[in-house]
Amino acid sequence: MLSLEVFPPKPGYPIDSVFETLDGLADLSPGFFSVTYSPRGDNGCRTEEIACRIRRDYGQESLAHLTCLCHGRNEIEAILDRLSVCGVENVLALRGDPPENSHVTGSDFRYAFQLIREVKKKGCFCVGAAAYPEGHVESPSIHQDIDRVKQKVDAGADFLITQMFFDNRVFFDFLHRARWRGIEVPVIPGIMPVLNFRQIKRIIYLCGVSIPARLLRILEKHGGNSGDLQKAGMEYAVQQITGLLSQGVPGVHLYTMNRVDETRRIVAACGIESMESSA
């Protein structure tokens, strides 16, 4: 199964731009479109609107990201009710990042597993959770991090989507640890194509993702030429995806960064056929 992730425009930018992205990707018929949530909550209402319009206007499954920091229980309840009314049945339950240079206030939740329990009480949502193949940047150890993933699954998470990684061995090592820990839900690998040098450099820094030697050589060779980097980055993503599919993963989650042409080329090169949603 192929799933595609899009994100709401930044505050101050028209929301229509994301629907231009969806117009360009809808015929790929992914298992679901995932709609990200602003870490500061700025785009929370936009996430709801986009997820609902994906169901209503495009007739496709949507997965709405929902973070629990800075939200009280009543706010979460209201968001879930609105999503349910417009037919959104899938939620990615996340802790979210605390506001910069401030303390979290007004939240009844501190961790994602608490939000997952709350969402599952509704009884009408399929709930996904995040997993970090190389460990969350705040986690003191890889062993403690896998315990946190198990906590999410025990709370009711139906499937996991991973953070990006650039070496498939990292994913399969994580999957081995997860299965050994008793985590049996589907684990969907998340792939982010390297299309912009500055963007990927920042993301790598924030997420603590390692760079394999082969990708490092690509960055060093093409980092100064955006066209060549995009071509090499797409080829690298295709190799990652085909390698994962050949090993029987249940699907691939592609972080599109709202790039239509590049996403379509990657999907076509991988030969991924449209499949019905299993979210």
Residue pLDDT, tens place only, 88-129: 999 999 998 765 555 555 568 889 999 999 999 998 999 999
Q: Is the pLDDT of residue 147 over 80?
A: yes
* pLDDT single digits (tens) 152-162: 999 999 999 99
Closest CA to 188 of 208, 167, 164, 205: 164
| Average confidence score pLDDT of the chain | 90
pLDDT for 277 equals 40
Sequence ranges of the domains in the chain: 2-270
- What percent of the chain has a predicted confidence (pLDDT) above 90? 74
Taking the whole predicted model, whether its pTM rises above 0.85 is answered as: yes
Long-range contacts of 133-142 (CB under 8 A, 24+ apart): 133/162, 133/163, 133/165, 133/170, 133/171, 133/173, 133/174, 134/163, 134/165, 134/170, 134/174, 134/208, 134/209, 134/210, 135/208, 137/206, 137/207, 137/208, 142/177
**Alpha carbon distance 244, 265 (integer Å):** 18
Query: Tell me, what's the pLDDT at 279?
Result: 47
Domain spanning 2-270: CATH 3.20.20.220: yes
Higher-pLDDT residue of 98, 238: 238
For position 54, what pLDDT does the model report?
Answer: 97
The pLDDT of residue 43: 54
pLDDT: which is higher, 161 or 225? 161
Question: Hey, which residues are catalytic here?
Answer: 5
pLDDT band at residue 41 under the 50/70/90 scheme: very low
Residue 163: pLDDT above 80? yes
Mean pLDDT of 255-270: 96
